[in-house]
Structure 1
Amino acid sequence: MTAYRQTFIEANGIRLHVAEQGDGPLVLLCHGFPETSHAWRHQLAALAHAGFRAIAPDLRGYGSSECPTATGQYTTWDVVGDLVALVDILGERDAVVVGNDWGATIAWQAALLRPDRFRAVVALGVPMMGRAPMAPSRLFPQTDQTRFYTHYFSEPGLAETELERDVATTLRKIYFSASGDVGARDANTPNPFGLVPRSGGLLDSLIDPPSLPAWLAPADLDKFVQAFSISGFRGGLNYYRNLDRNWELQSALEGLLVEVPALYLVGERDTGLAMPGMQEIIGDMPRIVPRLSATRVVPRAGHWLQQEAPDFVNAALIEFLRDL
């Protein structure tokens, strides 16, 4: 199987860098933070071999894609608009949308907003959730000593300064600390998606591993480092800076269900599972995703599921796609 192709596509008034491989029914692969399209390298090849056209864009603000200047241009609705335009430009009527982390949030919203264009959805890590009772800035915890990482990310310029100081160290720490390689999670396990002390930064408590985990080859880490060395982290952080705006926009969707076929996969050691109430949210998903075919927990895997457990993800994904 040849390596994936890379190209640029103008869609929704923005220039997107995309990786693509294969021919057949269209599958869109949406990465999370801090990742790029390269996070789907194993799925691009597997899907192409199975007879599908796999497309993984660098989402707006990431990698070699364009980074809009205004913070307000990074809502979920903006990114779903990019995906709709991408389907059109590719000459397709519809697609299956797959996402991990922030990409999973985008995938759920795409299926909710435009079921005519996204005929099925697969989410990794982040479950479909109903609208919260209050804006995230009020919901997530913060004290005089600590604040939830989304509050830390939301202050313009603060997280960028820390994360861009040494991109290789930043990615190495975050990738390892959110992976299954740290072992079973408890309250003392370093979690990049947890509380950040006001006297320090996100990276201070994270482990810098003496060697890379087996699932992340040095050459692959280099690709991520190169991408964020060019783009910086501002684009990705702007997704977090629109959490309240996303919450406001969701009021128009109150009561809607995800009506398309769906599959949910999560790593047994995913950082999200350690958050209060997450098990209840996952258990409630069939109510708002009535065509959810399965929730599958991947043993020993963490947050970077498609990279950590590619064989499991590829098999589950291809089985789901062929059953549609």
Structure 2
Amino acid sequence: MTVPTMPPASFVEVNGIRMGYYEQGTGPAIVLCHGWPELAYSWRYQIPALAAAGYRVIAPDQRGYGLTDRPEKVEDYDIPHLCGDLDALLTKLGIDKAVFVGHDWGGLVVWQMALLHPDRVAGVIGLNTPFIPRAPMDPIEIMRQTMGENMYIVFFQNYGVADKILKRDVRRVFESLMRSSPVTYEDFLKLPAEQRRFDFIQSFEGPAPAEYPGRLLLEPEELAFFVETYERTGFTGGINWYRNFTRNWTLSEGVEQKVTAPALMISAADDVVLPPAMTEGMEQYVPDLEKKIIPACGHWTQQEKPEETNRLMIDWLKRRYPAA
């Protein structure tokens, strides 16, 4: 597969930071929001396809990532800031509304955009990440009680620790993480509980294995892009998003958990982190919802199965948010 080139980067001042973003095409606006440890570059296969389908595609490096500023304060990475960045980005670009597409952490952000800035949201496409209603208690405590202190999200709460571990060998991080799933979701559920706790960060402190399970999803030039970027920026900005789980939970008290915009949920059958089962019951909170599942696909859906991802997105967009 030929690796698409990114459009030229642009920059804009939004919400107190300088944000880098990539833009291609004309027509109704679509904003692509990446997850961790990703970049706007994660959407390299979607940007030209969506532009060719008649859309104005905008893919920002979000707060803390890539070309965009990395504020020092942890609380500057909470949901109001992350959504505020996207709201301000639309204003600066002269856009009234957009369809927001989010993968992984970006998915959490775009669902919250629909709650906090509904006037800006023409639609939502969740890629792997379902709408997750407000938890009955602090989500970090839930994860700590169910998966332990070393589960990666809980471990991230120790400021600076995981950041240093990951920065030691950035290439190893991406060669290890951005791979196809070595097991089906069904086989993952059969593993012992201690092998399903997502406590992988500490593994980067020991010697690298002779080989990693699964297929590396990055061509050499793609791997180099991620490695060179994170060697420059480090991982702290993105990890700070995780350090706001408790703060976000507190701030969300009283926010109605109802998405009024039309939505598409695309799951990956073998994503063991965000499995399709997590979408069960979403209709209660997202009444205008379509759900699709990409078979034989792991967590990095838009990079592992770009053609399937593009096809599902464009089909929904043409029906629900048609280009002129």
What is the TM-score with the length of structure 2 in the denominator? 0.89
Give SS of 2:42's match: helix
Q: Provide the residue aligned with 1:161 in structure 2.
A: 164
Partner Cα distance (2:47, 2:15) in 1: 24
Is residue 305 of structure 2 the alignment partner of residue 302 of structure 1? no
Pairwise CA distance, 1:214: 6.2
Report the residue type matching 2:215 in the other structure: P
Question: C-alpha displacement at 1:37, in angstroms?
Answer: 0.4
Contact 2:147 2:197 in 1 (8 A): no
Instruction: Quote the Cα distance in structure 2 between the aligned partners of 1:189 and 1:26.
Output: 45
Report what 2:220 is aligned to.
218
- Residues 191 and 213 of structure 1: CA distance in aligned 2, closer, same or farther (over 3 Å): farther
> What CA distance in whole angstroms lies between the structure 1 residues aligned with 2:212 and 2:157?
31
The alignment partner of 2:45 has SS state of helix
Q: Does residue 1:27 correspond to 2:30, yes or no? A: yes
Q: Which amino acid aligns with 2:84?
A: G
Superposed CA offset, 1:36-90 (max 9, x none):
0000001100011111011100000001110011001001111100000000111
* Kept in 2: contact 1:146–1:195 (CA 8 A): no
Q: Give the aligned residue type for 2:304.
A: E
Equivalent residue, structure 1, for 2:241: 239
Which of 66, 69, 73 is matched with 2:69 structurally? Answer: 66
Equivalent-residue separation in structure 2 for 1:259 and 1:96 (angstroms): 13
Structure-2 residue corresponding to 1:183: 183
Structure 1 unaligned blocks of 5 or more? none
The alpha carbon displacement at 1:21 in A equals 1.1
Q: Return the letter of the residue paired with 1:34.
A: P
Residue matched to 1:249: 251
Contact 1:112 1:257 in 2 (8 A): yes
Runs of at least 4 residues off by over 6 Å: 189-193, 205-208
Q: Distance in 2 between matches of 1:114 and 1:197?
A: 35
Q: How does 1:87-236 map to 2 (within 5 A)?
A: 87-142=90-145, 147-176=150-179, 179-180=180-181, 182-185=182-185, 186-187=188-189, 188=191, 194-196=197-199, 200-201=202-203, 209=211, 213=215, 215-236=217-238
Greater CA deviation, 203-212 or 294-303? Answer: 203-212
Identity of aligned residues (%): 37
Out of 47, 52, 55, the residue aligned to residue 49 of structure 1 is 52
| 1:203 Cα deviation from its structure 2 partner | 6.8
The alignment's TM-score, normalised by the length of structure 1, stands at: 0.89
TM-align CA RMSD: 2.7
| Distance 1:90-1:273 versus aligned 2 partners, 3 A rule | closer
Change (3 A) 1:197 1:265: closer
The equivalent of 1:284 in structure 2 is 281
2:268 is matched with which residue? 267
Helix, strand or coil at the partner of 1:133: coil
Asked if the contact 1:196/1:202 (under 8 Å) is kept, the reply is: no
Runs of at least 5 residues in structure 2 that lack an aligned partner in the other structure = none
Three-state SS of the structure 2 residue aligned to 1:222 is helix
